[in-house]
Structure 1
């Protein structure tokens, strides 16, 4: 019996050391050498202070900032641990809404988002990402259409000429990777930081 148990124990120890220790350490070392910025979270720093990450969206609520797409992330309710509350861009709880296209809750939420965008004067044409959440709830990008639709409201809130703000948006449009992967997009954090630098 010992002859059968010993090889099993040796294999468990070896595989644990290989896959649980050696492999993660090797991949971490390779990532730190080849892609140090990405491996450390693609953090954005201004004046010695970390203001965010290029990979995780933030909840910009002020009228003088460009807004990201809605976020469906949540957090535990401080008043009742068995329930959750909306917590936009909660990186500790990345998730989509998982609501199907026939869900009344989804339709009501999208309609409310459309009305809010029109009421705030941020858009005149509704881009899909202006009223729908991403799968992670943390998408840091918006479509150029959504960014350009927000130009009049942001320019008015900042008392800047619209052409100047529009040119800033156009300068921040990231094209498809390798010319065919993904869609053109605008990183909201990078755009808002550039907007702050205009003053």
Structure 2
């Protein structure tokens, strides 16, 4: 009797398994696929692919790097925002750098195997963009040569952990014989960084500097997106690139701005996020309408 009950229970479980497998493993996927092939949906369901002369050249959902083999920006293209996904825009390695605002001290000042801090990375990108686009690339907490403006202030501390009387001040991201970005801090001469000194005993102090509170180079130009795949840039970043594109492609700046506007997407549902420019689609359109002659 017990054996008969055991068999009936297992047969019922097997039937449930087969039915659910058919529904969730066959019927449901086929239904979703069929809906995705409806007019108006099939293009998105297939990956929002972009084609040129019959060849797939990318997706409107995934950014691309418009640089040469050495990583230098190609002057004829709008530049995307940075990417931390693999070697850049790798869908198999989508990720952010996971570095935060307190990552200010470079590890590569004396160690070739170390990395630059997030602050110095941002400063270097801003300077490079400023030089390339002919705009002011300065930003708060950055030196003029594109590294993080950070001091290690050494001396006795008060109850709150503040250095009450500095006895030594080091520009930790500027290795000697570099000239420190600041002559003196609280009456103490600022020194360049020496390899045999321990700066961790000091209080790390970032210096804002005498620069515009709102940088000309926008934040999306110097920071990666959370996914590392974002194909968009802000209209502000697109705008500072317009003169370079116009000159490279022998266009008027107004013609370039018209194409930028055509590829600018408004806020989602009118209130989510910000307006954004799809760089991949914009550059593809530029190649179609105003080919670069070199």
Give the TM-score category using the shorter length: 0.7 to 0.9
Q: Which structure is higher in helix share?
A: 1
CA deviation after TM superposition for structure 1 residue 122, in Å: 6.3
Residue 103 of structure 1 deviates from its aligned partner by 2.6
Give the CA deviation at 1:24. Answer: 1.5
Partner of 2:257: 166
**Closer/same/farther in 2, CA of residues 14 and 183 from structure 1, 3 Å limit:** same
Show the counterpart of 1:180: 271
Paired with 1:123 and 1:151, the residues of 2 have a C-alpha distance of: 12
Q: What is aligned with 1:93?
A: 93
Q: How many residues align?
A: 187
- How many angstroms apart in 1 are the aligned matches of 2:254 and 2:52? 26
For residues 77 and 229 of structure 2, what CA distance do their matches in structure 1 show?
17
Between the aligned partners of 1:28 and 1:131, the Cα distance in structure 2 is 39
Change (3 A) 1:10 1:52: same
Q: Which residue of 2 aligns with 1:16?
A: 21
1:37 equivalent in alignment to 2:49: no
Moved over 3 A (4+): none
Is contact 1:122-1:152 (8 Å) kept? Answer: no
Q: Which has the larger radius of gyration?
A: 2
* Equivalent in the alignment of 2:231: 140
Cα distance in 1 for residues equivalent to 2:282 and 2:18 = 50
Change (3 A) 1:89 1:172: same
> For residue 56 of structure 1, what is the aligned residue in structure 2?
62
Q: TM-score, normalised by structure 2?
A: 0.59
CA contact (8 A) 1:123 1:150 kept: no
Q: Is the 8 A contact 1:122 1:150 kept in 2?
A: no
TM-score (norm 1): 0.84
Aligned to 2:130: 118
Q: Deviations over 1:116-170 (max 9, x none)?
A: 2122226541111101111111111111111111112222333433232223223
CA RMSD after TM alignment: 2.0
What are structure 1's unaligned runs of at least 5 residues?
Answer: 75-86
Q: Which runs of 5+ in 2 are unaligned?
A: 1-5, 68-73, 105-116, 137-215
* 1:171-193 deviation per Cα after TM superposition (whole angstroms, max 9, x unaligned): 32222233223321111122112
Preserved contact between residue 133 and residue 240 of structure 2 (Cα < 8 Å): no
Moved more, 54-63 or 170-179: 170-179
User: Mapping of 1:75-86 within 5 angstroms?
Assistant: none
